[in-house]
Amino acid sequence: MLLERIKAIVGPSGWTSDPVELESHLTEWRGVYRGKTPMMVSPQSTAELAEVVRACAAAGTAVVPQGGNTGLCGGAIPDDSGSQILLSLARLNRIRAIEPDDFSMVVEAGCVLADVQREARSASRLYPLSLAAEGSCQIGGNLSTNAGGTNVLKYGTARDQVLGLEVVLADGTVWNGLRSLRKDTAGYDLKQLFIGAEGTLGIITAASLRLYPLPPNLYTAIVAIPSPGDAVSLLATLRTELADQVYAFELISERALGFVLRHIPGTRAPLDQNYPWYVLVECAAPQGVDALHGLLMSSIELGYAHDAVISGSDREAAEFWRLRHSISEAQKFEGASLKHDVSVPVGRIGDFVEAAEAAVRAVDPEVRVVAFGHVGDGNVHFNISQATGASTLQFEAGRERLSEVVYAVTRSFAGSISAEHGIGQAKRDMLRDFRSATELALMRAVKRALDPNNIMNPGKVL
């Protein structure tokens, strides 16, 4: 009955239950989570989507929104009951307006991030959110996970880029909050509730986004450093000396770079020699490239750095970025892995990496730590790959204990178990241990108020 109703709402091209078509939508990027659904529905307009949600609400059937399905916590995958409707945003992908003088644009939730960046650029504006999955992740997914990426240091997270939202609520009501105001203190800032909610409070259908002027000419450098602690000192020096014109500052371990060079065709080592750690720096050089060169040289003299290379062309800069953006992909070739997307206070990154490595080694000296991340945000992807040639089953059996020790160290540094990937189903049970009873009670109260029948992506986050 419900399925027939949905088919009538969206028409023949708006739904599928073909197992072949559904396959890639029912498995998460890493293959860790699999789900079932009677149907994937792809509405073409907010009105259609609202009608689908109204039908689901009337039937008491759960809805799981899915964007580009690049999330890493299983948030966009339905459970295995086979009853939850998968709601794809892919066809809700129009750029509704772009206002260069207002430095804003309105886009639908299913727009792919790279398309939004391109559209902004064609109007001589910058949409700054940038991450390795930008060719397939969608704005709705970015906002629902409050994505971070490589430019948070300069521009903030996805949350900071939002001026207004359009949301379909759990009963099918459309809330049009697509304002583009910079200042608005009229009551609670409701849009912030839906950002980072991972589809558990409502479905984002469109967003009014903040744009920026295009940045000045940027330089991209790879700097070899002795340790992650030195990365923090180097970043502080560069921010101070370059009038805070550092746009990205990405930590890469020797092992992470090694995986990329081994598995990603067309990549090459940036320096003549191997070093234990590197940072990829993207910055402006207000005093010119010679001054930047001088700064890096003095960092070498002061012992924060071993060696450095500044890209000589856009092509070389793109090659450096490819090294950074290919780490997750390359890690897949090295067998089973564990991801820990944690954050700690920026100044404590060095001590954190050291302590977490020691804790992991005490559990299993053979597994391989693959650490990288966004130093300026205190965000380390403290990933672990199975030992070379080891049994995957054995690694899987020890996975819980390894994560336990990483999160215990994170806690001891007053850190977060989710810096930018969200909670989804992967970390739902852990949230209980990392948020106070008061915070959890407030979260549950918000969930009950907005989704009293628990049909919005149930089983995720809370």
Answer positive or negative: Cα dihedral of 11, 12, 13, 15.
Answer: positive
Structure token pair of residue 103:
């430095």
If one asks whether residue 153 binds ligand FAD (CB under 6 A), the answer comes out as no
- Residues whose CB is less than 8 angstroms from the CB of residue 189 and which lie 6 or more positions away in sequence, other chains included: none
Least distance from C-beta 93 to ligand FAD, angstroms? 11
How many C-beta atoms surround the C-beta of residue 9 within 10 A? 19
Which member of 37, 66, 84, 331 binds ligand FAD (CB under 6 A)?
66
Least distance from C-beta 101 to ligand FAD, angstroms? 28
Q: State the number of binding residues for ligand FAD (CB under 6 A).
A: 37
If one asks whether residue 140 binds ligand FAD (CB under 6 A), the answer comes out as yes
Instruction: Yes or no: say if 259 and 334 are a contact pair by the CB < 8 Å rule.
Output: yes
Which member of 68, 128, 228, 270 binds ligand FAD (CB under 6 A)?
68
How many C-beta atoms surround the C-beta of residue 187 within 10 A? 6
Counting other chains too, the contacts that 194-197 makes at CB distance below 8 Å and 24 or more residues apart are: 194/143, 194/144, 194/165, 194/167, 195/143, 195/144, 195/146, 195/158, 195/159, 195/162, 195/165, 196/143, 196/144, 196/145, 196/146, 196/159, 196/422, 197/144, 197/461
* Residue with token string 């990483």: 406
Least distance from C-beta 141 to ligand FAD, angstroms? 2
What one-character DSSP code corresponds to residue 112?
B
If one asks whether residue 147 binds ligand FAD (CB under 6 A), the answer comes out as yes
The strand pairing partners of 15, in sequence order, are 41
Which member of 35, 43, 148, 164 binds ligand FAD (CB under 6 A)?
148
Which member of 104, 299, 328, 418 binds ligand FAD (CB under 6 A)?
328
SS3 61: coil
- The C-alpha atoms of residue 60 and residue 456 are separated, in whole angstroms, by 10
Residue span binding ligand FAD (CB under 6 A) among the ranges 197-205, 226-234, 306-314, 393-401? 197-205
Which member of 137, 163, 195, 344 binds ligand FAD (CB under 6 A)?
137
Least distance from C-beta 363 to ligand FAD, angstroms? 26
DSSP secondary structure of 123-145:
TTEE---B-TTTTT-BHHHHHHT
If one asks whether residue 231 binds ligand FAD (CB under 6 A), the answer comes out as no
Least distance from C-beta 302 to ligand FAD, angstroms? 30
If one asks whether residue 69 binds ligand FAD (CB under 6 A), the answer comes out as yes
Residues 252-291 that bind ligand FAD (CB under 6 A): none
Least distance from C-beta 20 to ligand FAD, angstroms? 20
Residues 401-460 that bind ligand FAD (CB under 6 A): 420-421, 424, 457, 460
Of 224 and 456, the one with the shorter C-beta distance to ligand FAD is 456
Instruction: Yes or no: say if 168 and 46 are a contact pair by the CB < 8 Å rule.
Output: yes
If one asks whether residue 109 binds ligand FAD (CB under 6 A), the answer comes out as yes
Which member of 37, 46, 70, 331 binds ligand FAD (CB under 6 A)?
70
How many C-beta atoms surround the C-beta of residue 401 within 10 A? 12
Nearest residue to ligand FAD, by Cβ distance, number only: 141
The residues of the shown chain that bind ligand FAD, judged by CB under 6 A, are: 29, 64-72, 75-76, 89, 109, 131-133, 137-138, 140-142, 144-145, 147-149, 198-199, 203-204, 328, 420-421, 424, 457, 460
